[in-house]
Amino acid sequence: MSATVEAVRDVAIPRSTFARLRRELVKEVGPLPAIHALNAAGFSVGAAAASGFAEGVADVGSLPEDAFWARMTAFFLRRGWGTLTHRGSGDAVGILTSSDWAEAAHDSEEDHPSCSFGAGFLAGLLTELAGGPIAVLEVSCRGRGDEVCRFAFGSEAAIHGLYGRLLDGVQLERALADL
């Protein structure tokens, strides 16, 4: 390895880091720019983490679907993010769910807590692994009082369509069925 190329390595940080980062960003730049910054940072980190996910596999794309999602679950669990389960929701959108996602905190003091970094991380990781853009939208968050954190993922057009339906007040399951 050349002296100018550093291997990707994981660093463990306390889960409270996410809430502190978000709080400080909101204080400095406001809520919406903070969400965008955390999402963009998460995307970059997720894309870089793809090499760790693919380690030991010649072609991640050749893994059977069940093996791929089992590997994804183990990948996040091993890194302290929590459990992550996959549910297909038709051809357009998939759903990833976690009842213990590290970024979500029930005791958040924020008005609109969300897993912006995690959603970006998932988008970056999935985009890198798929070899093309994958959008991720957090559709429920334990930090906002929901039972689980739930992330919808798919093409940018599908996620944009889902987001529009949700903004119109359509329930998630109905919005997914409409896609």
Q: What is the CATH number of the domain that holds 76?
A: 3.30.1380.20
Q: What is the mean pLDDT of residues 77-87?
A: 92
Can you count the helices (H) and strands (E) in the chain?
Answer: 6, 4
Rounded Cα distance, 175 and 168, in Å: 10
- B/e letters for 25-48, b = 16+ CB within 10 Å, e = fewer, are bbeeeeeeebbebbbebbbeebbe
pLDDT, position 165 = 94
Domain of 58 in residue numbering reads as: 16-178
Q: Please report whether residue 5 resides in a domain.
A: no
pLDDT, position 17 = 87
Whether the per-residue pLDDT at 150 is higher than 70: the answer is: yes
pLDDT, position 2 = 47
Q: Please report whether residue 1 resides in a domain.
A: no
Q: Please report whether residue 59 resides in a domain.
A: yes
Nearest to 79 by CA among 45, 123, 116, 127: 45
Residues 43/121, Cβ–Cβ less than 8 Å: yes
With bands split at pLDDT 50, 70 and 90, how would you rate the model's confidence at 1? very low
Rounded Cα distance, 134 and 145, in Å: 27
Rounded Cα distance, 125 and 69, in Å: 13
Whether the per-residue pLDDT at 129 is higher than 50: the answer is: yes
With bands split at pLDDT 50, 70 and 90, how would you rate the model's confidence at 106? low
Whether the per-residue pLDDT at 46 is higher than 90: the answer is: yes
* Overall domain count for the chain: 1
Q: Please report whether residue 3 resides in a domain.
A: no
